[in-house]
Chains A and B, each alone.
Chain A
Amino acid sequence: MIVFEHVSKTYPGEVAAVRDLTLEVREGETLVLLGTSGSGKTTTLKMINRLIEPSGGSIVLDRHDVQQLDVTELRRSVGYVFQGIGLFPHMTVAQNVSIIPKLLGWPRARRRRRALELIELVGLESGAHADRYPDELSGGQQQRVGVARALAADPAYLLMDEPFGALDAVTRDELQQELLSLKQRVQKTIVFVTHDIFEAITLADRIAVLHEGRLEQVGPTEEILRRPASRFVRNLFDKPAKQLSAYQELL
């Protein structure tokens, strides 16, 4: 469980990115942080593993205040999938996937075994892809490797920062479906950042809508769709819904 209590983040000389955020991520759920750019959703995510340090408030991860934890150990224990992929270009797929096990000091053979297993798990072929370099893979394949890397040390938490944002619609849909089926097989608590409403609806157990650094509403997907708590939330979902019905009329 991850608990945000009155968390705020202000960058020097700028308006607050996150204001007084109180939020709970429950065990085993997928919570989607949904918002437009500048809403503070990525900042919120990065404060969990302290890629960004909060200005105030506290974040508690499994009853430990993250500020009290050793920062490198914290990051190794939480899986993170980066926006824009962020693979290490000078390492092979297998080396990328097993980087955290390497930092944790696993023996070489065990690392390799784990890497091959994960490469298969995310839908790649270990024989064909393990010893390639990231630039020899397609964008979708690279992002699968990113997911595999985050899962390597079997973390209880998975943080995903717009992981499918740079992919084409077809590949994105494919990866979303695979993430859903992956969720059935590995029990993870996932915090997923996106600005894509359909992605949020597809993946979320609960959605937290952020706007200008404030939490507008948090709740199960259905509840947010049926009973938007503010005008902003209603507008956020209305526009794509209108586009969708316009599209259906055309057909």
Chain B
Amino acid sequence: MDVSWGQFILERLPELWLRTGEHLMLTGIATGAAVLLGIPIGIVCSRSRALRGPALSVVGIMQTIPSLAMLAILLGLIGKIGALPAIIALTLYALLPIVRSTLTGLEGVPDRVIEAARGVGMTRRQRLWMVEFPLALPVIVAGIRTAAVISVGIATLSAFIGAGGLGQFINRGLSLNSTRLIVFGAVPAAILALLVDFAIWSAEWGTQPVRQKEKASLRARLKRPALAMPVLLVALGVITFVTELTPHGLAMRWASSQKAGGAGAIRIGSKEFAEQLILAEMMALMIEDRTDLSVDRRFGLGGTMICHTALTKDEIDLYAEYTGTG
């Protein structure tokens, strides 16, 4: 603990940048997928009483599976570590709030407005898109906000299966018994959750109609830029994700983990603590030094079970294991 907080943070800023990008990518893709899936499911539920019960139960049960168990199950099911199982898990968690809010929003449209829509001669489809959906939108967006915030939180666990993100710091902190590292992962994650929530709220606010009496006001003029808030967030995600502000090693690690690990590449795994990282790095350096094989470093996996499953599912070729630890 002889390093000051300032220095501690400064040293890790490049990695913080990278992890924030990963985190935004994971939650962004998952929330987007959940919106694309959840809104149609919600619409179907509102149209068909027969499908509503089963659909809501299935989506609800997803929510009750503990996150770590969900990741382990997905790892076993699809046999991959990294971003894919993490995104699938996050999508499944995000479904419930979106389906629910779509259903609630559509059911909340007043009967007399629906009758008016029928009365002016709208078809079922026109009624949905011209009247019911726009009126349900504020409720649906509230559901999307909930889903996105939940996703930012749960995405911290994705580090366990090598998907990166801000959870990487938390994991490392847990393994190294370092409160500072845990805080260094948790606080940015919390700030990110608030930002995401604000960005989506802001976009929804931007779509609300401008009333006559506030036409010239500052509020009215802010509405257009407010619409663009989520775009800024996505842009931030993309920029942090692709820029190489990271130290060379980190960039290499990321680049190598992106490769499919084809012929001639040895994929080395490790758990997330100093001794494991050192052992794995030693193995990697020796292989690179003494053979013409390349090494795909898949370090920082969340424990024996994840490492072992990755090994049996042919996602990594070797990692160091020994008896006597947990």
Contact = CB atoms under 8 A, between A and B. Distances in A.
A73 B121 CA distance: 7
A90 B209 contact: yes
Contact of A72 (B115, B121, B134, B209): B121
A71 to B, nearest CB: 8
A80 B122 contact: no
Given A84-B112, A88-B113, A72 B123 contact: yes
Contact of A86 (B115, B134, B209, B211): B115
B324 interface: no
B126 A103 contact: yes
A75 B212 contact: no
Nearest to A73: B121
Contacts of A172: none
A75 B120 contact: yes
A103 B131 CA distance: 13
A88 B131 contact: yes
Contacts of B121: 71-77, 100, 103
A99 interface: yes
A149 B116 CA distance: 11
Interface string B85-121: 0000000000000000000000000001101111111
A74 B126 CA distance: 16
A51 B212 contact: no
A72 B135 CA distance: 22
Interface string B40-62: 00000000000000000000000
Interface residues of A, number: 28
Contact of A88 (B117, B123, B211, B212): B117
Contacts of B123: 72
A234 interface: no
Given A132-B212, A136-B211, A88 B116 contact: yes
Contacts of A84: 112
A136 B212 contact: yes
B135 A99 contact: no
B241 to A, nearest CB: 37
A149 B131 CA distance: 16
At the interface, is chain B mostly helix, strand, loop or mixed? helix
A73 B135 CA distance: 25
Interface string B215-237: 00000000000000000000000
A203 B117 CA distance: 27
A247 B131 CA distance: 47
A146 to B, nearest CB: 9
Contacts, number: 60
Contacts of A83: 112
B134 A90 contact: yes
A90 B119 contact: no
Interface in B72-86: none
Q: Which among B116, B123, B131, B209 has the greatest number of chain A C-beta atoms within 10 A? A: B116
A82 B117 contact: no
Contacts of A196: none
A250 to B, nearest CB: 39
Nearest to B135: A90
A143 interface: no
A12 interface: no
Given A133-B209, A133-B211, A136-B212, A87 B122 contact: no
B134 A76 contact: no
A164 B308 CA distance: 75
Contact of B119 (A73, A80, A136): A80
B8 to A, nearest CB: 51
A80 B115 CA distance: 11
B1 to A, nearest CB: 58
Interface string B168-189: 0000000000000000000000
A89 B117 CA distance: 12
A87 B212 contact: no
Given A90-B209, A133-B209, A82 B119 contact: yes
A207 to B, nearest CB: 24
Contacts of A75: 118-121
Contacts of A74: 121
Q: Which among B115, B131, B211, B213 has the greatest number of chain A C-beta atoms within 10 A? A: B115
Q: Which among A77, A90, A149 has the greatest number of chain B C-beta atoms within 10 A? A: A90
Interface string B136-176: 00000000000000000000000000000000000000000
Contacts of A87: 116
30 contacts: A51-B119, A71-B121, A73-B121, A74-B121, A75-B118, A75-B120, A75-B121, A76-B121, A80-B120, A82-B112, A82-B115, A82-B116, A85-B112, A86-B113, A86-B116, A86-B119, A88-B113, A88-B131, A89-B113, A89-B135, A90-B131, A90-B134, A90-B135, A99-B120, A100-B120, A100-B121, A103-B121, A103-B122, A133-B209, A133-B212
Interface of B: 112-113, 115-123, 126, 131, 134-135, 209, 211-213
Given A74-B121, A84-B112, A133-B211, 5 more contacts: A85-B112, A88-B116, A92-B209, A131-B212, A133-B212
